[in-house]
Amino acid sequence: MPHPTVPAADLSVQQRAYIALYALRLGTASRADILASYHLTEADLQAHQAGWEELLAHHADCQRQMPRPDAESCRLVNCC
């Protein structure tokens, strides 16, 4: 079984960058070690940073509890 930090040959640079950014967030290894482990450069991380942050924001939105309307406001908009 391969070591978990060795990226699979079929992962794209974007996928490896997302994994590396997550590893950096966890703080379990140095930045240089993570970049080397995933065969990435600082430019690769910069190129995919915004997309990774968008993915995190989307995940946070999905985990947030939706507000429940009270019965009166529900009747006003005929949603129930």
DSSP assignment of 16-55, as one string? HHHHHHHHHHHTSS-HHHHHHHTT--HHHHHHHHHHHHHH
Calculated CA dihedral for residues 19, 41, 30, 50, nearest 10 degrees: -50
SS3 73: helix
Walk along the chain (80 residues) and give the pLDDT tens digit of each residue: 345 555 566 899 999 999 999 999 999 899 999 999 999 999 999 999 999 898 888 777 666 666 655 555 555 445 44
Could you identify the residue written with the tokens 């009747």? Answer: 75
Predicted TM-score of the model (pTM)? 0.66
Question: Sign of torsion, CA 42 6 27 33?
Answer: negative
